[in-house]
Structure 1
């Protein structure tokens, strides 16, 4: 009986010790803050942000969640460091893409600073949250954190992308009904090759300088009756707007409209809007 009690006590002590070690381990999260209005933030994202000791975010994102990050250590997330990991070669000049004129050496220094802060914080058992707009796995300037710190086993907290919000705005299932499938693309995609297949496209336009120029380049691969739908400010209840047309009339419909940074373009057969 005494031996049993001793073994039981040792087991309890081991569990307590293991739990203490686990609690002392720091953790790195890449957290979606949703898109548009703040109520698009998920409950899980809210909980991770609230428990975080250190937060990395862009100026715009920090402003959106300012009430959630009061009293925390806050650092800039390092916009442009993405290019050190995924676009190491100089970008090919294009009249269609807004160029980023980053100082590579400055970005390397930013990366060193961020790396030092995160690794020291994890050793100290702190929770670090890198905040991102939309969903990090769909379109993100901060997905590089997953590669830079993969040895720390960072966790992604998914959320609502502008793609999800735009789908809701056009009131269509992207994989159901007439559509069946869709290809997500950006200004860096080979849009002509995609258009040649007649694919239904959804364009993330954040780096596209002149969307009219892009559309005129690919319209020859589609019927003039093909739908072209613009969704502006997806996720913002008070200013979200859908402009639906075809290749025949969309240019006239968007003429004179000041397009925001946040808009998506749907090209294909999506049913009556």
Structure 2
């Protein structure tokens, strides 16, 4: 272990020394456990309380076995969690958020180190970003990490901003309203549960059929990640009637074979 790593390890027990607690939004990286950063892992080991969705906490079960573990929910404290809910479900959600908020504030007042652990980077496309606003008065700290965007970029191995290209990041909702003259040369769409036929129909209104498209599936999961690339017309013919995994990224204007 190098001297920097040794120093980090030596200081890991000194994370929470103030009278007040610490609330940290920590990136677990995306996909495989080894994608977590050294800093994030150190903070996770030193935490008193960890708030994470089950699929995230399972990846780090060896570190979390002696922690107080709470379920972070998907998109709690944000509109993401409210999508498609009826009135009764919204009431239940409000109760869940109120209970978790009280727990977080009580732990913080006790001087605990509280880690909200999530896949990907909290400030790129993280489902737990709502914690930043809900607990703003507790001065939450963000620990950056590897997101699906970072992992997908590495898999594509293409310079997205080369030669002055204009890059845009968004979710799929912008496809509904953007005008052809405003469509960026390079566009990365974060997709969850997408309707491919609908997406291709919208893209054909914005770009020529020869425009390069790359789709990255399961970025960061070494055994599952995959890149599909081709022209808009080729991918429309190949995939429009297919179902893709729930989470993927669409790179418009990027040819993975270039």
Same fold (TM over 0.5): yes
Contact conserved, 2:51 with 2:115, CA < 8 A, in 1? yes
Which residue of the partner structure matches residue 48 of structure 1? Answer: 43
Deviations 1:30-82 (A, max 9, x none): 01111111111011110111000001111111111111211110011132424
Partner of 2:5: none
Contact 2:214 2:254 in 1 (8 A): no
Change (3 A) 1:67 1:57: same
- The alignment status of 1:206 with 2:192, answered yes or no, reads yes
Alignment of 1:36 onto 2:39: no
> Is residue 213 of structure 2 the alignment partner of residue 228 of structure 1?
yes
2:211 aligned with 1:216: no
Aligned counterpart, 1:128? 114
Corresponding residue for 1:91? Answer: none
Structure 1 stretch displaced more, 75-84 or 104-113? 75-84
Q: Which residue matches 2:253?
A: 268
Counterpart residue number, 1:107: 93
Secondary structure in 2 aligned to 1:81? coil
Alpha carbons 2:23, 2:115 under 8 Å: kept:
yes
- Hey, which of these two has a bigger chunk of helix by percent? 2
The residue aligned with 1:163 is 149
The RMSD of aligned alpha carbons is: 2.4
CA contact (8 A) 2:214 2:255 kept: no
Q: Distance in 1 between matches of 2:238 and 2:59?
A: 32
Runs of 4+ that moved beyond 6 A? none
Q: Is the 8 A contact 2:183 2:206 kept in 1?
A: yes
Please give the residue correspondences for 1:35-184 in structure 2 after superposition, counting only pairs within 5 Å.
Answer: 35-84=30-79, 100-101=84-85, 103-177=89-163, 180-184=165-169
Q: How many residues align?
A: 241
- 1:107-164 per-position Cα deviation (integer Å, ceiling 9, x unaligned): 1111111111111111111100001111110112111111111111010011011011
- Pairwise CA distance, 1:213: 1.1
- Pick closer, same or farther for the CA change 1:80–1:164 going to 2, 3 Å: closer
Q: Decide whether the 8 Å contact of 2:76 with 2:97 is kept in 1.
A: yes
Contact 1:191 1:218 in 2 (8 A): no
Query: How far 1:232 moved relative to its partner?
Result: 0.8
Residue 252 (structure 1) aligned with residue 237 (structure 2): yes
The answer to whether the 8 Å contact 2:170/2:190 transfers is yes
The 1-side partners of 2:172 and 2:112 are apart by: 38
TM-score (norm 2): 0.85
* Aligned residue in 2 for 1:9: none
> Which of the pair has more CA radius of gyration?
1
Contact 2:123 2:129 in 1 (8 A): yes
CA distance in 1, matches of 2:109, 2:145: 28
DSSP 3-state at the match of 2:178? helix
Q: Structure 1 length normalisation: TM-score? A: 0.81
